[in-house]
Amino acid sequence: MPELIPMLSKEEIDKMVSTLALQISLDYDGRTPVILGVLKGAFIFLADLLRYLTIPVEVDFLRVSSYGAGTSSSGNIRLTKEIETNIAGRDILVVEDIIDTGLTLNFLLNYLKNFDPLSVRVCSLINKIEVRKKKIKIDYIGHVVQQGFLVGYGLDYNESYRNLPEIYHLKL
Ligand code: XMP
Ligand code: MG
């Protein structure tokens, strides 16, 4: 049986999310950014983050598939759901669950450039720093981890564990 080692409690996550939302609300004061959630992993984080934002926002989603079944990024990234909002001239905030190698985000940022947004920033719940392959600026970071595979709070292992309210380190 895989072992789940507690990493972030509900309270710690809540504090982290409200702190990020406060900073984002201050930075985007007077503007209406389009928040782009990266499915599926970011959906719970996005839902909580939005409820703490005090600025007007629009929301859209895109979906990429890179892992297949397993715990390491294949680097073989496919866009499986396009954005539906016209983002030309808009301020974009991409909301991700985890940045690991950086390949997914690099792919997404290149994709978004095609639509001529006014600005693009990135907010990630977790920044996993050990195996970064692409240098990427992450504007808002919830929590930094060195390594390891995380589950819970939207994060999955083969589609399991997304519903856990806390974040765990999965030991296989
Ligand atoms: P890259 O390597 O492209 O990966 O930066 C980013 C995407 O990979 C997923 N990912 C994880 N998913 N637990 C997960 O449930 C993890 O520890 C983990 N690390 C990477 C994630 O979907 C992210 O969008
Ligand atoms: Mg993801």
Which pLDDT tens digit goes with each residue over 139-164?
999 999 999 999 999 999 999 999 99
Distance from residue 121's CA to the centre of ligand 2 (Å) = 16
Using CA atoms, how far residue 164 sits from 62, 64, 67, 156, in Å, is 23, 22, 20, 10
Rounded to the nearest integer, the mean pLDDT of the chain is 94
Q: Ligand 1 center to residue 126 CA distance, Å? A: 9
Contacts of 11 (CB under 8 A, 6+ apart): none
Distance of CA 16 from the midpoint of ligand 1 (Å): 19
Q: Which of 91, 97, 100, 156 is catalytic?
A: 100
* 33 has pLDDT over 80: yes
Confidence of residue 66 (pLDDT cuts 50, 70, 90): confident
Residue 68 has pLDDT above 60, yes or no: no
Which atom from ligand 1 is nearest to the alpha carbon of 77?
3
Half-sphere exposure (Cβ direction) of 80: Cα atoms closer than 13 Å: 13
Give this prediction's pTM: 0.95
- Nearest residue (CA) to ligand 1, atom 21: 98
- Check if 99 has its Cβ closer than 6 Å to any atom of ligand 1: yes
| Rounded distance between C-alpha atoms, residue 113 and residue 123, angstroms | 17
pLDDT at 71: 65
Atom of ligand 1 nearest to the CA of 75: 3
Say whether 100 is catalytic. Answer: yes
Using the mean position of ligand 1's atoms as its centre, give its distance from the Cα of residue 105 in Å: 10
| For the CA of 126, the nearest ligand | 1
Instruction: Tell me what pLDDT residue 74 has.
Output: 64
Q: What percent of the chain has pLDDT over 90?
A: 87
